[in-house]
Structure 1
Amino acid sequence: MKNSISLTKAITLLIVSILIIFAGLLFVKAPAAIVLITAGIAAIILSLLWGFKWEDIENDIIDTLRKVLLPILIMFGVGMLIGAWMLAGTIPVIIYYGLLILKPSIFLVAAALACALMSLMTGTSWGTIGTIGVALMGVSIGFGIPPHYSAGAIVAGAYFGDKLSPLSDGTIMAAALTEVNIVEHIKHLMYTTIPCFVISLILYIILGFQLDEQVQNTKNIELIMSTLEANFNLSPILLLPPLIVLFLIFKQKPTLPVFGIGILLGCILAVFFQGRDLLEIANTLNNGFTDTTNVKIVNEMLQQGGLSSMYSTVAVIFAAALFGAPLRTSGVVQVILEKIVKVAKTGKTMMASCLSIHGLFYTITGSWYVSFSVFGPMLAPLYDKYGLHRKNLSRTLEDSGSAFGPAIPWSTTGVFIASTLNVPTGQFILYTPVVYLAVVFALIYIFTGFGIAKADPEVIKDNMKKEAVLHG
């Protein structure tokens, strides 16, 4: 049986963790993985000093790693996919046609809409960013558009589509852990998600008008296109891998096998269209595309991908598991929630408290897989108590968790995006209103009552009966 922790100790543990994380990242500027490991060691030491068993902490570390194993494998898949599609000429041909068709004035809006559509249909923001997102970054470099503008538009589109897709693992998990019908959950998410995306598109239209006057560099574009023509056998057939991957994911096939098919197709096309041998393919899958074209701007577009490009991201996930485990073992979250129940006199204060505490926990741990698993089942009964529909909670989990991830530099999502698009979080996040305005709209709705759903009294009774049976 685990020991209980006092409120004072729980707050102390959180404060120590937050101080280490912010000091390490903002002042020391140490790598995110090292900072999280340091915070995790401090949390473990305090937990052990307060009487918690190492075996319990170790079990929670293993349990957390089990939950994040799939995203780790997906990240490795994305790394190899980018490498294979670069070598095959798939991403270069997308860049080529993009420069041929698009204009700087409409690029940001087109990028956001294209990523939104792909993410909506496939349910994967990471897959969208790692494939079409990488290609669009290449197009933006060709146009001379600031990378942080482009990354902002790509991430905004990818996460808009991801939140509203019934195929998204974050959407599925938020609905499942709060016992909410997924269609109801998605409809409720529209209250915070659609206004944010509309604001984002307006921003991109305004930036586009400015860009049209600033980045008209025809010689630069011609140089890039001629370099791609000289180094790759460009053919529309090279578009088959992304089209097949998109179709299979749309048909709700599992992500990992689909990425495997995409990688295999890329390797086959690399042999037949680019004349590559097996050793070159193997090296690219591991190290990414490393060929040089003697044109710096083209090298920046193409030299990406590979398993090795994801190692730092995976290190952050492992570090987050190490850090999050003692917080779960010591029952820090449970103690703070109990305090919320005592203090919150109305549904509004309760919902605002839940949004804040989940956002804080997610910000600290950097993994929504962890925060959803902890807070979903734990907070759901609170919403029943106040006569509120649980879909308010499922929306809160997404607005302050999976969809907020790009704003947290040390989160699994933040590290993945920064490493995949080669743009630091602090540079692009301001141009991704979908991410941070959702929390603003959520708070507005909580305090105005607009967009807040009441629960059916009969459903609440059933939920309370289930809780009573569950807890004996």
Structure 2
Amino acid sequence: MNTSLSPLKAITLIAISILIVFVGILYIKAPSTIVLLTAGSAVIILCLLWGIKWDAIEKDILNSLQAMFIPILILLAVGMMVGIWMLSGTIPIIVYYGLLLIEPSIFLFVACIACCLMSIMSGTSWGTIGTIGVAFMGVSLGLGIPLHYTAGAIVVGAIFGDKMSPLSDTTVMAAAVSDVKLVDHMKHMLYTTVPGLMISLILYLVIGFQYSGQIADENISTIMSTLDSHFNLNPLLILPPIIILIMIYKNKPTLPVFGVGIILGCLLAAIFQGKGPAEIAAALNNGFTGSTEVEIVDTMLQRGGLSSMLGTVALLIAAAIFGSPLRTAGVIDIILDSIQKLAKTGKTMMLSNLSLHSFIFIITGSYYVTFAVLGPMMKSMYDKYGLHRKNFSRTLEDTGTALAPLIPWSVTGAFIAQTLGVPTGEYALFAPMLYLGIVFAIIYILTGFGISKVKPTEIKVEKNASQTTDLV
């Protein structure tokens, strides 16, 4: 093992960096980007004091940033696409028709499906929960359905869509840090995500048939009438997401595909909504900023834009600054070597990674931090056992994105509890998809089903691809 520092000093770096991350996130509650920059700065200072040359650190930082360049461009493209799809009416028409599907006896089922669709198309579970999720909670009150049932259905739908959307920053980030093609990552997640969704939907049907009544919720009516009055809801507006999803699943290059989505959004905004070049450019940069004078609808629509992704871009840069000096100092090698000594087989290695990521995520409550820090450390371990790295990217989402709503102190868990007005512990049992993903993941690891392998020649290609972070 080739390390630039002694094992004792390397362990000291690990301890200090982890301590700064935990204290910063859990106690100070500072933004994740600032915490990572602080931890990275501390590591760099110690490395310099212990004799590591700045040139070596700088080289590793630049290499990490170069590997993240394509994911950063994809994130920026996603932001622009969401903004222009809001302006063009593409996302509004999806919400509008989704709300038309509601029937009392299948309310929970439909609420989950509607949240799935909106989250897939918009790429945001938070936006889904904070908009139509809130509206569905009002409907639940009118029907006399317990709010924790409805909250569970909303969260399952929103998280499923978040995991399976090519517009989701967590989906893009999990694929990026694992050096996996975005479409491969999304397809592989179906193994652990779809069974949990099916079980959840069956549960909602069973619960839902106990209730009946009429839906006359003011929020639903307000949303639909406002969308209808402010947008030309022509059915052709649904074409962009359909075209994009087809192209994505046919393995077309991600950036050009998103470019097609942006161009289509611009054309539809001009043709159907009568928007001029200045308004289209503003939506691409700042997202939808128009006002309908209805608060719940404005909350739903006012999102997207290139600027909305700058925070995530900053986080990726901070992660590079945090992780690169650890790599330069040989700390990454020590971590990998320790896990590999304990993991004698591919199964034990995958179980170790699943357990480690779950543990650190539960402590930090931030998948942005765990994806960015642990992803670059663990991805290469899968090559040794002839396992495809998409097994790892799936693990990140099963133990991060899906687990987040179940952790009360996580940012996502706190947001959901506050937004829907239901404590985490009350809706957790009625959101089985969130924890069944981990159960199915463990079963697959033990049985070998749903575990993708690669040939030695493919491993070499994968390593070469990782140098350019080819997500497409």
Using the size of structure 1 for normalisation, the TM-score is 0.72
CA contact (8 A) 1:83 1:288 kept: yes
Alpha-carbon offset, residue 2 of structure 1: 6.9
Match of 1:23 in 2: 23
Say which SS state the counterpart of residue 293 (structure 2) adopts: coil
The answer to whether structure 1 residue 143 and structure 2 residue 146 are counterparts is: no
Note the C-alpha offset of 1:286. Answer: 1.2
Give the drift of 1:56.
1.7
CA apart distance, 1:40: 0.9
Change (3 A) 1:434 1:455: closer
Asked whether the 8 Å contact 2:175–2:393 carries over to 1, the reply is yes
Q: Which residue of 1 aligns with 2:79?
A: 79
* Amino acid across the alignment from 1:240: L
Could you tell me which amino acid in structure 2 is paired with residue 105 of structure 1?
A: L
1:404 paired residue number: 399
Q: 2: CA distance between counterparts of 1:282 and 1:168?
A: 24
Whole-Å separation in 1 of the counterparts to 2:305 and 2:92 = 16
Aligned-pair CA distance for 1:236:
0.9
Q: Which residue of 2 aligns with 1:159?
A: 163
1:338 aligns with 2:337: yes
Alpha-carbon distance change, 359 to 65 in structure 1, aligned in 2, over 3 angstroms:
farther
- Spell out, residue by residue over 1:355-391, the C-alpha distance to the aligned partner (whole angstroms, 9 max, x if none): 445667897983757755543434543x4xxxxxx33
- The answer to whether the 8 Å contact 2:102/2:111 transfers is no
Q: 1:292 to 1:345 in 2, by over 3 A?
A: closer
Distance in 2 (alpha carbons) for counterparts of 1:62 and 1:175: 17
CA separation of 1:147 and 1:330: change in aligned 2, threshold 3 A: farther
State the shift of 1:325 in Å.
0.7
Deviation at 1:217, TM superposition (A): 4.1
Question: Following TM superposition, by how much is the alpha carbon of 1:248 offset from its aligned partner in structure 2, in angstroms?
Answer: 2.4
CA contact (8 A) 2:109 2:205 kept: yes
CA contact (8 A) 2:357 2:374 kept: yes
Question: Could you tell me which residue of structure 1 aligns to residue 313 of structure 2?
Answer: 314
Distance, in Å, in 2 between the alignment partners of 1:134 and 1:108 is 15
Find the aligned partners of 1:230 and 1:455 in 2 and give their Cα distance: 49
**1:413-437: CA deviation from partner (whole Å, max 9, x where unpaired):** x999999xx979x979958655655
Residue 299 of structure 1: CA displacement?
Answer: 0.9
Does the C-alpha gap of structure 1 residues 347 and 311 become closer, same or farther in structure 2, counting only changes over 3 Å?
Answer: closer
User: Hey, what does 2:255 align to over in structure 1?
Assistant: 256
CA contact (8 A) 2:80 2:306 kept: yes
Please show how residues 270-309 of structure 1 align to structure 2 within 5 Å.
270-309=269-308
The amino acid across from 2:113 in the alignment is: A
Assess, with a 3 A threshold, how the Cα gap between structure 1 residues 171 and 148 changes in structure 2: closer, same or farther: same
Map of 2:56 onto structure 1: 56
Name the counterpart of 1:10.
Answer: 10
Normalised to the residue count of structure 2, the TM-score between the two structures is: 0.72
Q: Amino acid of the residue matched to residue 83 of structure 1?
A: G
Q: Would you say the 8 A contact 2:285–2:305 is kept in 1?
A: yes
Stretch of structure 1 that moved more, 272-281 or 213-222:
213-222
Q: 2:113 aligns with which of 110, 114, 138?
A: 110
Instruction: Provide the rounded CA distance (Å) in 2 between the counterparts of 1:255 and 1:233.
Output: 29
Matched letter for residue 67 of structure 1:
A
What residue identity is the alignment partner of 1:101? L
Structure 1 residue 319: Cα displacement: 0.8
Q: Give the Cα–Cα distance (whole angstroms) in 2 for the partners of residues 379 and 258 of structure 1.
A: 29
On the 8 A contact 2:288/2:303 being kept in 1, the answer is: yes
Shift, 1:318, TM fit: 0.9
CA distance in structure 2 between the partners assigned to 1:418 and 1:265 by the alignment: 36
Question: Does the CA contact (< 8 Å) of 1:340 and 1:353 recur in 2?
Answer: yes
Amino acid at match of 1:154: A
Match of 1:97 in 2: 97
Counterparts in 2 of 1:177-216, with a 5 A limit?
A: 192-193=192-193, 195-201=195-201, 205=205, 216=215
SS in 2 for 1:144: helix
Is the CA contact 1:47–1:330 (under 8 Å) kept in the aligned structure 2?
Answer: yes
Deviation at 1:216, TM superposition (A): 4.1
Given that residues 64 and 325 in structure 1 are in contact (C-alpha distance below 8 angstroms), is that contact kept between their aligned partners in structure 2? Answer: yes
Listed as ranges, the matches of 1:168-183 within 5 Å are none
- Structure 1, residues 249-305: CA drift from partner, whole Å, max 9, x if none? 233221211211211221222222222211111112111111111111111111111
Give the whole-Å Cα distance in 1 for the aligned partners of 2:115 and 2:217: 24
Q: 1:55-114: CA deviations, max 9, x gaps? A: 222122112122222221111111111111111111111111111123432234424765
Contact 1:143 1:215 survives alignment (8 Å): no
Q: CA deviation at 1:316?
A: 0.9
Structure with a larger share of its residues in helix:
1
CA contact (8 A) 1:396 1:442 kept: no
* Matched residue SS, 1:79: helix
Question: Residues 105-142 of structure 1, C-alpha deviation per residue, up to 9 Å, x if partnerless?
Answer: 22344247658xxxxxxxxx9x7552899678644344
| Aligned equivalent of 1:220 | 219
Q: 2: CA distance between counterparts of 1:344 and 1:257?
A: 40
Q: Which amino acid aligns with 2:27?
A: F
The structural deviation recorded for 1:322 is 0.9
**CA distance in 2: counterparts of 1:101 and 1:304, whole angstroms:** 25
Cα deviation for residue 176 of structure 1 reads 7.2
Distance (whole Å) between structure 2 residues aligned to residue 190 and residue 80 of structure 1: 27
What is the distance in 1 between the residues matched to 2:179 and 2:321? Answer: 26
Question: Is residue 25–residue 35 contact of structure 1 (8 Å, CA) maintained in 2?
Answer: yes
Q: How does 1:373-452 map to 2 (within 5 A)?
A: 374-378=377-381, 380-381=383-384, 383=385, 390-391=386-387, 394=389, 397-406=392-401, 407=403, 434=433, 437-443=436-442, 449-451=446-448
Inter-CA distance 260–367: structure 2 relative to 1 (3 Å threshold): farther
2:288–2:305 Cα contact (<8 Å) kept: yes
